[in-house]
Amino acid sequence: MSKRTVLYQKHLDAGGKIVDFAGWEMPINYGSQLAEHKQVREHAGVFDVSHMTIVDIHGTDALAYLRKLVTNDVAKLDVPGRALYTGMLNEAGGVVDDLIVYRMQDHYRVVVNCATREKDLAWLAAVAGSFAVTLAERPELAILAVHGPEAIERVCTLLPAEWQPVVGALGNFRCVELGDWFIARTGYTGEKGLEVMLPASQAPAFWDQLLAAGVLPIGLGARDTLRLEAGMNLYGHDMDESISPLAANMEQTISWMPEDRDFVGRAAVTLHKQQQLAGTLPILIGLVLESRGVLREGQKVITDKGDGIITSGTFSPTLNCSIALARVPVGTTDCHVELRGGQTAVRMVKPNFVRFGKKVFE
């Protein structure tokens, strides 16, 4: 039985082409994925991401639990209104999921992927074990992500006057509770923007107001090209339970200090670190194809150090050429892919292609 968000009818009204996404009927585009991509890079767009899973964590052990559960150190969130991106690992050091942890006034909130909901909920419950915490999924909330250089300004015009200065001044990875709304400066596009979590019953009216304010609806297709240009991983593609975070460009999400914080998977990922130093763990890099054609997930990458694989590939509308994330042997200096007509050279770059509308590599 496929599921629909509270905005399903709004997607149809906006001309959304509906596809199945992990059991949800979601809009892949509203006409043109390329036009939607450009809209977010140049102006502002809204994504319905209500299919993602929100879990609130209450209890006296909430902090201790999260410091066990995830690789980043939630103790860094020293006051309410702060957020961090992190991975959570299994005991073997594979990535169970990536997520954002928000510190709220009297509890924590995590948002995990939709496609991994069941296993994540089971994992959260399993790690909770003897910790004094309660986990509460929040399916009655909708999430609207509004992104683009004009996004924050346009959202602010729709908010009550007393909220506007607060939301307008939010720094990156900051968040605020305003009544039964929760607004965070987080996202998945490489542009400035907000993720607004609000009661589902209020989401259709807010959606209409956003569209009336010139914020255009953006489908999952453009969400994917935007995140890939920003070099952001997609779970199940760029990493999964068989992949070390160190082989998925997620090292910055691991807090190694303090050394006595025993997060799940720490022993395994410590071994991965030794493998990395010994040169036996692969790395996730960016690839750019400067000639015609499009790099695709699953394609083999032929390197001077052995074969690698493309984990995500697409056409970059901003750069007007194809880009990809690829996992290759450490020390690789030369990459080719098989395209029609033989092997073609591809450029290796850091896995970050576009930020704030601009190309970020030379």
Partner 1 sequence: MSNNLKFAKSHEWVSVDESGLATVGISDYAQSALGDVVFVDLPKIGATVSASAEVAVVESVKAASDIYTPVSGEIVEINTALQTAPDLINSSPLDAGWLYRIKLTNVAELDGLLDEKAYAAVCE
Q: Which residues bind partner 1 (CB under 8 A)?
A: 17, 28-29, 32-34, 221, 225, 292-294, 296, 314-315, 317, 340
CB 187 within 8 A of CB 195: yes
- Of 76 and 292, which has the nearer Cβ to partner 1? 292
The angle formed by the CA atoms of residues 65, 70 and 75, to the nearest 5 degrees, is 65
Residue 240 and residue 22: Cα distance in Å, rounded? 16
Backbone phi, then psi, for 80, in 5-degree steps?
-60, 150
Instruction: Enumerate the H helices of the chain as residue ranges.
Output: 8-13, 33-42, 62-69, 117-128, 151-157, 164-168, 203-212, 220-229, 266-278
Residue 241 and residue 229: Cα distance in Å, rounded? 24
Q: Tell me how far, at minimum, the Cβ of 34 lies from partner 1, in Å.
A: 4
Which 3 state secondary structure label does DSSP give 131? coil
Q: Tell me how far, at minimum, the Cβ of 340 lies from partner 1, in Å.
A: 7
Q: Tell me how far, at minimum, the Cβ of 37 lies from partner 1, in Å.
A: 9
Q: Tell me how far, at minimum, the Cβ of 294 lies from partner 1, in Å.
A: 5
Q: Tell me how far, at minimum, the Cβ of 316 lies from partner 1, in Å.
A: 9
- What is the DSSP secondary-structure string of 7-32? THHHHHHTT-EEEEETTEEEEEESS-
- Of 50 and 225, which has the nearer Cβ to partner 1? 225
- Of 28 and 63, which has the nearer Cβ to partner 1? 28
- Of 225 and 249, which has the nearer Cβ to partner 1? 225
- Of 17 and 107, which has the nearer Cβ to partner 1? 17
